[in-house]
Every structure is written in structure tokens, then in C-alpha cells.
Structure 1
Amino acid sequence: MSNGIAIEARRDAFVPGIEALRGMPSSVIGDVMGRLVGTTGLHPVNRTPVTMCGNALTVSVRAGDNLLIHKALELLLPGDALVVDGAGDISRALVGEIMMTVARMRGSVGFVMDGAVRDVQAFEQHQFPCWARGINLRGPYKDGPGTINRPISIGGMLVNPGDIIVGDSDGLVAVSPQEALAVAKRARKKVAQELATIQSILNGSYSASWIDERLKQKEV
């Protein structure tokens, strides 16, 4: 590490469990993980609903500076999601159409920016998934410092390099590769349960007796 810049060795591009988690709702994944994971304050900039499931290439930068993001673009592999801790600053955009185009050509599945972005029409036009804390036309600095492939925090959620990032209209969750298959199995079960509940509401057989039972347990 020198001049406040750290670039860790590239992690293995293959992450088990991506296909198992693909298409699973972020809210359901969060539920089956104890409702202890998930971002706050980050939203899709795409107007058309988008989804994402890929390996996290993590970056941490100084507020309003994207030098290390440019370097991270060179390290992207197909299936990677570029996940950036921009200190939650929205005074300057960290990425825009040019950087998005580079990422698309390298096979990235999307951006997550705990900071601001710009050129949002281009993200919509190309249906390139992007979650951000805000939008700002003002361009960034390119001085550093920063890190690549180290643990970061985005929207209150810890993300380790190589975690599986699942994103949709509700938000984002991070799942470690070691837990992915087990989490996917629990998520599929919960999706089935929720579909059964909705069907019971539609056909008139739904029972809300659990509410009074829970209140009784709380001595209410």
C-alpha cells in the first residue's frame, strides 16, 4: 500500500450459488437471513425495473473521487457487480455513461454506488442495472486514495470481495458464497409459502388467527 491506495489480489471469478440465487427476491433473501442484511438509502436509477445477481468487486473511495473506480473497471470479469463505498456522498457523480460502457463491454452485471451517479438516461437506455444514493451532474475528482477488493460498507451493509450481490426494485442483499446454496434453498421455500398465503387470500381461506395468538403471547 502506498499513497493511500490498496489493491488486493484478484479473487476467483467463480462463485457457487449465483444461479441458485438468481431471480430470488431481495426481500425474501433478507428475511431468511434473519432480516439482518440489506441496504438502506440506495435505489435503482433505472426507471424500468431491473435485477442483478453477480460477484462483488469491491471498491472504497474518497468522497467525490473515482480514480480507484477507473482502476477497478480494468479488473472486472464477466458476471461481476462493481460495488463502491463512496462514503454516501452525493455532491459529485462517481460514474456515468463512459464508465458504464466500459463495464458493459467487460461483462459486468451492474453497479452499486453508495454515492451519486450521472447520465442516468444512458443506464436506462442500455438497461444496465445501477443502484445509487443519488444523482448529480457534477463530475468527480481523480486523485485517490482508495482500496480495491477489501471489505466495504454500502447502505449500512457489509460486503466482502466475492460476495454474491442480489439486487431488485426493493434493494440489495449480500450473500457469502459459502452460505449461498443454503440461503437459496430457504428462500425458495419461503417464496412457495408466500405464494400459498396469497392464494389463500384470493380464495377466501386465509386465516389471520396468528395475530391474536401473537398478541396474547405479548400479553396485549
Structure 2
Amino acid sequence: MIWNLPNTLTTLRLLAAPMVAVMFLFFPRFYADWFALVLFVGAAITDWFDGYLARAWKQQTKLGAMLDPIADKAMVVIALMVIIGFSSWKASLVLPATMILFREVFVSGLREFLGDVAGTLAVTKLAKWKTTLQMIAIAVLFSQGVFEHYSATAGGLGWKLMAARWSGGVGLVLLWAAAGLTLMTGWDYFRKALPHLKETV
């Protein structure tokens, strides 16, 4: 059965990815920050549940295997686009985000080129940690917007401004750490693909 619960969760995560950006088109900033954070965190949680349930219930399908990495990449790419856009293109955010996006495009291109031997680039545990760290970093950065705009609507409460600064700083550190893991896994995939790239056409 293709449309089992794990695949449904993966599909919902994929659909949630663009909705994170859409929130900022239709709602005031404070509500958009909240909605985007809740959507992103909820979708990120399904990333664990869909794989776990698929294995536990023996409902692994080719559709799920195809949709899962696409949903992950869509979530990360769109969320980073939103965060960078509202950060006024701060270099401290743009650089790690660029590293992450470059790696994702590069590895996707490698997998597409390798075709039938793309199994050589099976997802590693380090890559799973990379994805987890990316999602945590993005969630923390979204929370910065929640604190910033909530404080503006609640009389400028000092602790919320402090929370905004801390969440921004912690989120930035986590994003750089995620970028480092991203490059490490990208190099690992390239190293594994290299023997196939040396073959003559």
C-alpha cells in the first residue's frame, strides 16, 4: 500500500515546507513567526516518525524513500530562504546557509548522475545528525523572530528581548555547526562517488 501512514507523514512534511514561507505573506509578522515555527517544528518531528513507523510496521516503499530526502531538503532550503530574507542578508547567516545549500545541490547532482549506482551514496548516520542539527538551528532562529515581535507587542518586556538575542546567537552557532557537518558529509559522499566518476564514458 503506497499511501500508508509513514508516506502520508512524509507528504505532509513536504507540503508544510512552502507553507512556512506562505505564512509571512498572509499574516502579520508576530503571527507569521509563530505559525512558521509551529509548522517547521511539527514537520521536523514527522521526519523521525515517518522513518521509524515505516521500519517498525514494515511499510517501507520506494515512494517514501524518494519523498523523504526531498521533503527534508525543501524544509531546510525554504526555511533558510525566509530566515536570510528577514535578516537583511547578514553575512554571518548567509555564509553557513550558502555552504548548506551548495552541499545539498552538489550531492543531489551526484546522486542523479550516478543513477543506478547511487546506492553508493546511502544516507549515513552523520548525515542524519547533520539534518537534525540543521532543523534544530532553524527552529531556534525562527524562535528569535517570535521573541522579537512578541516583545514589541507586549510593552517591550526585557526578558523577551534577551531571549531574542540568546536565541539568535545560539541559532547562529548551531547553524555554523550544521554547515560544518554538511560539508563533512558532502566530502564523504564525493569521496565515495569518486571511483565511479573516474570511469570513462
Higher strand proportion, which one?
A: 1
TM range (shorter): under 0.3
Flag the structure with more relative contact order, 1 or 2, with Cα contacts below 8 A and sequence separation at least 6.
1
Rg (Cα) greater in structure: 1
TM-score normalised by L of structure 1: 0.23
TM-score normalised by L of structure 2: 0.24
